[in-house]
Amino acid sequence: MKKILSLILAVVMCLGCTLAFTSCSQETIVSKIAVQKGTTAKMYADVLNGVEVKSYDTFALAANDMKNGNADYVLVDKTTANALCSQIEGLKVIDNIPLSSENYGIGIDPAQTELKGQIDAILESKAAEIQAIKDKYMNEDEENYVGVTSAAKNVENAAGQLVVATNAEFAPWEYKVGTEYFGIDMEIAKIIADELGLELVIENMDFDNVVGSVGKQGIDIAMSGITITAERLEVINFSNPYYTESIVVLCKADDESLVSCGTVVDLLTVLCVPAAEEESAE
């Protein structure tokens, strides 16, 4: 598979120039941006100068803290932003100006050389079924959601199980209700396990640990809305992309600071202060 460019390069290409990053003052803090730890949204926020980056264990915690006045904006994947707006009143998504475009892939243990080919073949052969799963979650067709139950991990039968690492705090991709897992990734994981003739074992953990867990303690793959990046490809394999996502800004519903923005550069001008403006003020 063609190696994906790093997030930083992708962001710069999306902006069309590096000026949008380098023109922000490192000394003046003009906004507080909330993100989930370990995500590409955090990587994006970290390259913006003039902002205070606040990290949380989940995007839901980030969104709630912003609603409570402890942050100005949240950078988050678009589909998850829409899900958060359904769950938490008083939020809105600035989805007409994506900050980046990225591809989700299934993280695969590089030591299992045949597994990538098998998973890619399943993603292709089951494309219509997988699309239907995406559609029902995107359209909030809750009556047709299918709960997935994890088998107990059995080290003595490792060859008969597919162990999946996830962070079940990322609706609509994965979340937990009682003992069942729901979400796009979880239903796709069940398809893959069934096609391989394996029991599905789901290991729920902090997102920070998901990618690094692959290939360790019997974990075969990772599915948690994981963006394919050059950095992650250095430690794990990835399936072919199965979804193209974008990072967007989530803010409070009554926030009018971004209404006049029409481009990414406009958006970033609100998030940080161009150095030229600061020099003029001095």
Question: Quick one: pLDDT band at residue 233, thresholds 50, 70, 90?
Answer: very high
* 202 shares its domain with 220: yes
Average pLDDT over residues 147-156: 96
pLDDT tens per residue, range 197-220: 999 999 999 999 999 999 999 999
Q: What pLDDT score does 21 carry? A: 44
DSSP E strands, the chain? 31-36, 51-56, 73-77, 91-94, 100-104, 107-108, 148-149, 161-166, 169-170, 174-177, 180-182, 199-204, 221-222, 237-238, 243-252
Residue 250, domain member (yes or no): yes
Residue 1 falls within a domain, yes or no? no
Average pLDDT over residues 250-271: 93
pLDDT of residue 111: 96
Q: Does residue 218 sit in the same domain as residue 113?
A: yes
Asked if 120 and 235 sit in the same domain, the reply is yes
- pLDDT by residue (tens digit) across 114-143? 999 999 999 999 999 999 999 999 999 999
- The reply to whether 126 and 217 lie within a common domain is yes
Does any domain span residue 182? Answer: yes
Residue 169 is assigned to a structural domain of this protein: yes
Residue 268 has pLDDT above 60, yes or no: yes
**Count: domains in the chain:** 2
Do 111 and 93 fall within a single domain? no
Residues 31 and 121 reside in one and the same domain: no
Per-residue pLDDT at 164: 98
Comparing 15 with 107, the larger pLDDT belongs to 107
Q: First and final CA of the chain: distance in angstroms?
A: 51
Residue span of the structural domain in which 117 resides:
106-240
Q: Do 126 and 194 share a structural domain?
A: yes
3-state DSSP assignment of residue 219: coil
Assigned domain for 2 exists: no
Judgement on whether residues 95 and 110 belong to the same structural domain of the protein: no
- Residues 92, 151, single domain; the answer is no
The answer to whether 38 and 62 are in contact (CB under 8 A) is no
- 229 and 251 both lie in a single domain: no
pLDDT of residue 91: 97
Please name which of 110, 76, 72, 105 lies closest in space to residue 93, comparing C-alpha atoms: 76
Instruction: Identify the pLDDT of residue 30.
Output: 85
- How far is it, in rounded angstroms, from Cα 218 to Cα 18? 42
CB 163 within 8 A of CB 203: yes
Beta strands 161-166 and 199-204: pairing type? Answer: parallel
CATH number of the domain to which 94 belongs: 3.40.190.10
Confidence bin at 28 (pLDDT 50/70/90)? confident
Does residue 164 lie in a domain region? yes
Between 278 and 39, the higher pLDDT residue: 39
Tell me the two tokens of residue 170. Answer: 């990322």
Of the candidates 32, 67, 13, 9, the one whose C-alpha atom is nearest the C-alpha of residue 272 is 32
Tell me: the pLDDT tens digits for 159-188? 999 999 999 999 999 999 999 999 999 999
- Residue 83 CA to residue 170 CA, distance in Å, equals 9
Same domain? 160 vs 216: yes
Same domain (yes/no): 210, 224: yes
Over residues 53-111, the pLDDT tens digits come to: 999 999 999 999 999 999 999 999 999 999 999 999 999 999 899 999 999 999 999 99
